[in-house]
Amino acid sequence: MTEGITHSFRTALRLSAAGAFALTIAVSVWMLVTSPGGKTADCATAQQMWTYYQSQLASARSAALKSNGDNDAIAVKYQTMLNELQAYANRVTTPDLRPRTDRIVAINREMFEQWKRWVAQSQAPSPDSATPTSPDTQFGNQFAANARKLKLAQAELEAACST
Amino acid sequence: MTLTVADIDRWSAEAVREVFHAGTARGQATFEASRQLSTLSVFDSWQGATAEARKHTNASIRQDLDNHGNESLMVAQAAGSAVDGIEHVQSELRTLRHDAAALRMTIDSSTNKVVPDSTFNGPPMEALIAERQLQPRLDAIVVEANTVDQELATAINMADGDIPVPLTFPGTPLGAPPAGHNAASGQWQLDSSRGYDSPNPPEGPFAPWRPTNLSEKLATGPSTGLLTTDKTGLSDTADGFDLQQGYKIRITGGQDTGITKMVQGSDGKYYQARWIENTYAMQTTKVMQGTGDLGGITGYPITMPWKPVSLNEIANTAALYPGKTFYLPDGCGGIIPIVNGTLPTPTVPVMTAQR
Whole-number average pLDDT of chain B: 80
Pick B183 or B139 by higher pLDDT: B139
Q: Flag if A136 and B303 touch (Cβ within 8 Å).
A: no
Encode pLDDT of A88-132 as tens digits.
999 999 998 999 999 999 999 999 999 999 999 888 766 555 566
CA pair distance B107, A15, nearest whole angstrom:
94
Q: Residues 6 or more apart from B310 whose CB is under 8 A from it?
A: B280
Cβ(A97)–Cβ(A160) below 8 Å: yes
- B-chain CB neighbours of A148 within 8 Å are 240, 294
- Neighbour-count burial of B128, counting CB atoms closer than 10 A to its CB (0-12 exposed, 13-18 middle, 19+ buried): exposed
- Of the candidates A70, A115, A122, the beta carbon closest to that of B300 is on A115
Where helices occur in A91-133 by DSSP H, the ranges are 98-122
ipTM of the complex: 0.74
Give, for B117, the enclosing helix (H) or strand (E): none
Shortest CA distance from A137: residue in chain B? B234
Which residues, listed in sequence order, are joined to residue B298 by a DSSP beta bridge?
B289
**Can you give the pLDDT at residue A154?**
92
Query: Is A61:A81 a contact under the CB 8 Å cutoff?
Result: no
Given B241, B243, B298, which is nearest A61 (Cβ)?
A: B298
Would you say the pTM of this structure is higher than 0.80?
no
Name, in order, each residue with C-beta under 8 angstroms of B154's C-beta and a sequence gap of 6 or more. Answer: B78, B163
Q: Which residues of B touch A54 (CB under 8 A)?
A: 296
Note the pLDDT tens digit of each residue in A41-60: 999 999 999 999 989 988 88
Rounded mean pLDDT, B315-336? 88
Domain boundaries, chain B: 5-160, 183-190+199-255+276-349
Which residues of chain B have a CB within 8 Å of the CB of A66?
223
Q: Which of B241, B245, B302 sits opposite A144 (nearest CB)?
A: B241
Please state, in angstroms and as integers, the Cα–Cα distance from residue A23 to each residue in B81, B201, B330, B331, B351, following that order.
94, 104, 78, 78, 90
Query: Is B42 a residue whose pLDDT tops 60?
Result: no
Residue of A66, A67, A109, A129 to mutate for B, most B C-beta atoms under 10 A: A129
Tell me how far the alpha carbon of residue B141 is from its chain's centroid.
Answer: 26
Residues of chain A with C-beta less than 8 angstroms from the C-beta of B313: 130
Mean model confidence pLDDT for chain A: 83
Residues of A with CB below 8 A from B223's CB? 65-66
Measured distance CA(B236)–CA(B216) in Å, rounded: 35
* For B298, nearest residue in chain A (alpha carbons): A57
Q: What's the mean pLDDT in B273-294?
A: 88
Q: How many Cβ atoms are within 10 Å of B129's Cβ, its own excluded?
A: 13
What pLDDT is recorded for position B230? 74
**Residue A81, SS3 per DSSP:** helix
In this structure, of B249-258, B264-273, B299-308, the range with the lowest mean pLDDT score is: B264-273
Say if CB B309 and CB B282 are below 8 A apart.
yes
Most confidently modeled range among A14-28, B23-37, B205-219, B271-285:
B271-285
pLDDT digit string (tens) for B173-227? 677 788 878 777 888 888 777 888 888 877 765 555 555 577 777 888 999 989 9
Instruction: Give per-residue pLDDT as tens, B85-119.
Output: 889 999 999 999 999 999 999 999 989 999 999 88
Q: Considering only alpha carbons, which residue of chain A is nearest residue B224?
A: A65
Count of CB atoms situated within 10 Å of the CB of B179: 6
